[in-house]
């Protein structure tokens, strides 16, 4: 394989992984446009309790996660069978949802994705063509009796900068620390 072909393959693999990361961020920040940008218009998402088009899945997922104060979709092991403009991927995930009173919720499993590189508005791009989510475990996790809450590091004078929308510190360019202080 020529150096140009190997570099093109690396770029494709990177762009595919970026789709998965955008998806996780979009769901956790309740950024529906970002999450939706990961799917082609004709994509089907088979997500356990939901099977349907991306335009219907994103609002469903948004409403499903509103019961949590915060969520984290972590993408982990990732295998990608790249075949030209098609990719067949298996990506492990761990989802956690934090509730005010507990129990918290954790789900583990795999995203089995068919991604395609098609013409986009700014040139060729990778998106999910179809997804099957395999849930392999679900767990209720009680609140720890003595563990400090992540919010205890903050006060009304210096609130936590985590939000589930575009006000989250991750959207700030550049991110602004509260201020230097002694630990």
What pTM was computed for the model? Answer: 0.87
Give pLDDT, residue 150.
Answer: 52
- What tens digit of pLDDT does each residue of 37-53 get? 999 999 999 998 999 99
Is domain 3-143 annotated with CATH 2.40.160.60?
Answer: no
CB 52 within 8 A of CB 45: yes
For the chain, what are the domain ranges? 3-143
User: Maximum CA pair distance of the chain?
Assistant: 59
According to DSSP, the β-strands at 39-46 and 123-141 are parallel
- What tens digit of pLDDT does each residue of 114-170 get? 999 999 889 999 999 999 999 999 999 998 754 455 555 666 666 777 888 888 888
């Amino acid at each position: 394989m020529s150096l140009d072909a190997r570099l093109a393959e690396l770029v494709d693999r990177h762009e595919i992984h970026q789709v998965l990361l955008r998806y996780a961020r979009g769901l956790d920040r309740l950024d529906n446009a970002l999450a939706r940008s990961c799917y082609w218009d004709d994509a089907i998402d088979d997500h356990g309790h939901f099977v349907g088009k991306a335009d219907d899945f994103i609002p469903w997922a948004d409403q499903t996660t509103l019961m949590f104060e915060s969520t984290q979709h972590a993408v982990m092991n990732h295998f990608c069978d790249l075949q030209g403009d098609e990719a067949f991927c298996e990506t492990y995930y761990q989802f956690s949802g934090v509730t005010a009173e507990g129990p918290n919720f954790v789900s583990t499993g795999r995203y089995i994705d068919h991604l395609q590189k098609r013409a986009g508005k700014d040139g060729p791009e990778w998106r999910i063509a179809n997804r099957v989510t395999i849930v392999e475990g679900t767990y209720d996790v009680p609140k720890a009796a003595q563990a400090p809450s992540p919010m205890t590091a903050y006060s009304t004078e210096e609130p936590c900068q985590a939000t589930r929308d575009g006000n989250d510190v991750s959207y700030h360019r550049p991110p602004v620390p509260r201020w230097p202080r002694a630990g």
